Amino acid sequence: MNKAERSDQFDLEALRKQVSDISRPSQDTDEGAQSPEPINSYARQIAEQFSAGNRSPAIIIGQFRLFEFLSQFLIGLLVFFFWPGNGAETLLARGIAAAIVAALLICGLQTADTYTIPALRSRLRLLPRVLAVWGSVFVIVTGANVLAGNVSSAEMKGFVAWFATGAVFLLASRFLMAYGIRNWSRNGIMERRAVIVGGGAPAKELIRVLEQQPDNDIRICGIFDDRGEKRSPIMVAGYPKLGTVAELVEFVRITGIDMLIISLPLSAEARILQLLKKLWVLPVDIRLAAHANRLRFRPRAYSRIGAVPMLDIFNKPIRDWDSVAKRCFDIFFTLLALALLWPIMLATAIAIKLTSKGPVFFMQNRHGFNNEIIRIVKFRSMYADKGDPTGRAAVTKGDPRVTPVGRFIRKSSIDELPQLFNVLKGDISLVGPRPHAILAQARDRLFGDVVEGYFARHRVKPGVTGWAQINGWRGEVDHDDKIKFRTAYDLYYIENWSLWFDLKILFLTPFRLFNTENAY
């Protein structure tokens, strides 16, 4: 690496370090509060066009990979019934053989790079490669069986029929998949929706380059820029400028945007950091376009859209198959918890009904994923005529609004158990940052006004329990530091998420909740 390259690499690492520092809540500033700024009527009209959900290419590819494995496995079993050979082979043996063949096929197709959107989109170009992989798998498997003396002439006919049937099915399924992907792309069902941050000539050049990509799956939804019309025209390469960067935050929360692409040169480091300070709280991929930069880094430093290089600044947390795995985790352990805890929940409901007038449950609006408003259900712990649905007046020690039963279930967190139904509904997860009431305050200031980057907690679904809670940051927020540290722990969880981390938090929750020091 020459001197210039070392300097360029240093600058990139320095930029990434400064960006990562943004995720540490400030101790004495509120300029990052991120209070939503209403978007203009035209931007809202555009946002409504993209409000419907789209399908992740990674999920589609994974589902198709699983489909090909299962289909080839079943074909191997079906052929056994029509060509049983000499009758010596058992169904179990053929099942094991079919599973091995299907697994080898999927591994071969993956190695041959046929599980990409461009490959699946192509009707004919990669079909010879697919057939070559399928043929290689059968040569290997059949050859191994012949050498082992496990294949008679009658069984060889079954292998040939298996190969022919599997080949026809592979070609048909791949052809139909190509048709489906093209159709989904035209209808906007399968695409990555992007917004360009920064207008003018750089944005125009970026858009032109993206449009020239033969297998481009990016749908540009608009441009946002703080600069005036002299430096940033209202229309760039046929795409409208929809508003300022502050309005972009609200725009992304309304639409299903997947990616923000910053079209600024690396030399504009101060401007890039200023933008990231506003945008990093959003649950989207943030990329810095690098096609026009003369600085060149090692290939692994880039991701690409077609042939267009991008520098990855932030990635959307818990995405694609990670989100599927987390959802399966939530459903399994929620059903298990309900099966174990229903007597406690039933006894709590009876105790609430017998000791105070009013409903058993208490509903409250709270912030959910991407700052959406969700309705949380809890056991009622206050007198019905003294409850605070807004959450503005936090419960304090000895609070007269809390019933005797409510005092116990709040300290033991039993009042949170009905949120298991919110988990099944999909509003929240078992583990995640706790959902706060919309108007929750630290003394006389909203949480978002106390902590810079507070709304970054909402890049993932909130949870019934969380990393902050099991580390003692729960209960009354009577000092700014309490919400700052709680937010810091929540951000740590988001940045270091894994299923093992979720399992650890879930396991520790009942033990750590014995510490009721801050729970009133």
**DSSP of 269-291, one letter per residue?**
HHHHHHHHHHHTTSSSEEEEE-T
- pLDDT tens-digit series, residues 83-121: 665 555 667 777 888 898 899 999 999 998 888 887 888
Q: How confident is the model at residue 295 (pLDDT cuts 50, 70, 90)?
A: low
For the cut 50, the answer to whether the pLDDT of residue 8 exceeds it is no
pLDDT the model gives residue 5: 40
Range in 44-58, 158-172, 285-299 with the lowest mean pLDDT:
285-299
List where CATH 3.40.50.20 sits in the chain: 3-53+191-316
> Does the pLDDT of residue 317 top 70, yes or no?
yes
| 398 φψ region: left (φ > 0), alpha (ψ -120 to 50), beta (else) | left
Instruction: Let me know if domain 3-53+191-316 sits in CATH 3.40.50.720.
Output: no
Distance CA 98, CA 89 (A): 13
Q: What is the pLDDT of residue 335?
A: 95
Q: Is 192 left (phi over 0), alpha (psi -120 to 50) or beta?
A: beta
What pLDDT sits at residue 336?
Answer: 94
In this model, does residue 376 exceed pLDDT 50? yes
pLDDT, average across residues 459-477: 84
Q: Region 173-180: what's the mean pLDDT?
A: 89
Closest C-alpha among 81, 284, 276, 61 to residue 165: 81
375 vs 125, residue with greater confidence: 375
pLDDT tier at 140, thresholds 50, 70, 90: confident
pLDDT for the residue 505: 94
Burial of 186 by CB count in 10 Å (0-12 exposed, 13-18 middle, 19+ buried)? exposed
- SS3 call for 462: coil
Which pTM value belongs to this model?
0.78
**Greater confidence, 185 or 60?**
60
Q: Quick: pLDDT tens for 177-188.
A: 988 888 887 776
Using pLDDT thresholds of 50, 70 and 90, give the confidence band for residue 2.
Answer: very low
pLDDT in tens, 204-255: 888 888 888 776 778 888 888 887 777 777 888 888 888 888 888 888 878 8
Digit-coded pLDDT (tens) for 483-504 = 888 888 999 999 899 999 999 9
Burial of residue 420 (number of CB atoms within 10 Å: 0-12, 13-18, 19+): buried
pLDDT digits (tens, 9 = 90+) for 351-361: 998 888 889 89
**Distance separating alpha carbons of residues 411 and 474, to the nearest angstrom:** 11
| Dist. CA 273–CA 207, nearest whole Å | 22
Kindly report the backbone phi and psi dihedral angles of residue 519, in degrees, each rounded to the nearest multiple of 5, phi listed first: -100, 120
Rounded to whole angstroms, the Cα distance separating 275 from 22 reads 11
Q: Average pLDDT in the 35-53 region?
A: 72
What pLDDT is stored for residue 142 in this prediction?
A: 77
Q: Which two tokens stand for residue 215?
A: 């297998």
256 exposure class (CB count in 10 Å sphere: 0-12, 13-18, 19+): middle
**Pick the residue with more confidence: 2 or 285?**
285
What amino acid occupies position 236? V
What average pLDDT is seen over the chain? 80
Predicted pLDDT at 296: 56
pLDDT at position 30 over 50: no
- How far is the C-alpha of 461 from the C-alpha of 318, rounded, in Å? 10
**Which pLDDT tens digit goes with each residue over 377-429?**
999 888 877 776 766 666 767 778 888 888 888 888 888 999 999 999 999 99
